[in-house]
Amino acid sequence: MTHTPSPMSRRSFLRLGATAGLLLPSAGGMTLLLSGCGGDDNQVNADGSMSGSYMTASGLTLSFVETMVAKERGFFTEHGLNLDIKGGQGTATAIQAVLGGSADLTRANGINAIIAVANQQAPMVSIASVRQKSQFEVVSLPDKPITNPSHLAGRTCGIVSTGGATENLLDVMLINAGVDPRTVQRPVTGVGTAAYELARRGEVDAWVCVNTDRDTIQKQIGEVTFFSTDEFAPMPSDSYNTSLKMVESGSDMPVRFLAGVLKAIDYASKEENWDQVITDLRKYNPETNPDQARAELPMLVESWLAAGPENALQLDEQTWLTGQESLVKAKLVDSPASIDKLINKDYLTRARAL
C-alpha cells in the first residue's frame, strides 16, 4: 500500500512495517519498501558470538572490500561476530533490506540516508562514515574544461543513475552555484569509462563519476579535467546504517561490526597487505582484475583515511548538518531532521574502546 508519512513515533512506524509492506515515495527519486520480514533483535549463539548480515549498496566490488577483509582475516570473529556479506543492487535495495529486517547493517551514500530519514521518517540511523571524502567527481575534456558547476548552465552533464546520489549531488552543486538545475540535461552515463567516449563525440559536456573511473581514464585513455563534488556540495559520503529496531534492541552487533571494520581498514591501508586484500576480494568476486584493483586501492585508502588514521569511520556532525541544509535549499529535503535522528556516534565510540 502507499503510505504518506504522518506524525507517528518511529516505534509505531516499525510496528506498522512488521505487519504490512510499506511503500515510501521519495522527493529524491528513491522509493523505500519496508517489507516486514524482520529478524531477531539479538542473534546470540550458545558460545556468546552473534550472527548477523550486511548488505553492500551495490555488488561485491573493491569499494566494499573492507568488510570482506574483516571477515576473511578473522577480525569479525575476534569480536564474536559471524557476518554474512551480501551484495546489494542499489542504495534503495540496501536500505530496504535493513528496514525490512533481511539485513542487520548496510551502507548508503550520506545524501540518500539524509533524504530517507528527513523526508520519509525511515527508521534507520547512520553509525559510521566509511569514506571521509566524496568519491564523486565532475569530469570533462581538457579542451572544453568544466571547472565550476556554474559552467554547466544550459549544457549536458552525465550522471550514474536517475534519482541517485550523483543526480542529487549535481542538483545541489548547481543550486549552490546559482544555476537553475532545469537548464542542465543529465543523461545516464553509468559507471566505467564509457562517458569519456560520449564526451569525445560531443554528446555530453561533462559527467559525474567515481574517482577510480576518472583515474582509470587518465591512466589508460587520456587526460581529463576534474573537480570533487566536495568543493561545491560538501556532503557525508558512504556510511554504515542500521535500523532503529536494532538500536532499540540494545544489541551490540553494530559495535562488533565496527570494531572488525576498524581493524580491516588498518590492515588494508598498508601496501604490504594489498596482495592479500585482493585475494580476499576475489573470493567474493572472482571476476575482479587484480591489476586494476591494485591500481585503485590507493584512492580507496585515501578516502578511508582522509581525516587521519585516528579518525577512521568518524561521523563529522557538521558535514551532516551542512549537507542537510544544502538538500533543503535544493528542495530535495522538505524539512531538516535533528542530528540525533541522522547519526549515532555511540557504537563507534564503543568499538574504538575494544
pLDDT-based confidence at residue 42 (cuts at 50, 70, 90): low
State percent of the chain over pLDDT 70. Answer: 88
Cβ proximity of 255 and 347 under 8 Å: yes
Q: Which stretch of 17-21, 78-82, 115-119, 122-126 has the lowest confidence by average pLDDT? A: 17-21
What gap in Å lies between CA 161 and CA 334, rounded to an integer?
A: 22
Specify the pLDDT at position 32: 56
**Position 210 pLDDT exceeds 70:** yes
DSSP β-bridge partners for residue 52: 83
Say whether pLDDT at 37 is over 70.
no
Average pLDDT of span 202-218: 94
Neighbours of 57 (CB within 10 A): 24
- 164 band by pLDDT with thresholds 50, 70 and 90: confident
Q: Report CA-CA distances (Å) from 240 to 93, 108, 162, 227.
A: 14, 7, 23, 25
State the average pLDDT over residues 198-227. Answer: 94
Q: Are 146 and 140 contacting, i.e. CB atoms less than 8 angstroms apart?
A: yes
Picking from 236, 238, 241, the residue whose alpha carbon sits closest to that of residue 54 is 241
Please name each of the domains of the chain with its CATH number: 10-132+236-353 (3.40.190.10), 136-231 (3.40.190.10)
Lowest mean pLDDT among 15-24, 169-178, 267-276, 302-311: 15-24
How many residues in total does the chain contain?
A: 354
What contacts 204, CB < 8 A, 6 or more positions away? 156, 157, 158, 187, 189, 195, 198
Mean pLDDT estimate for the chain = 88
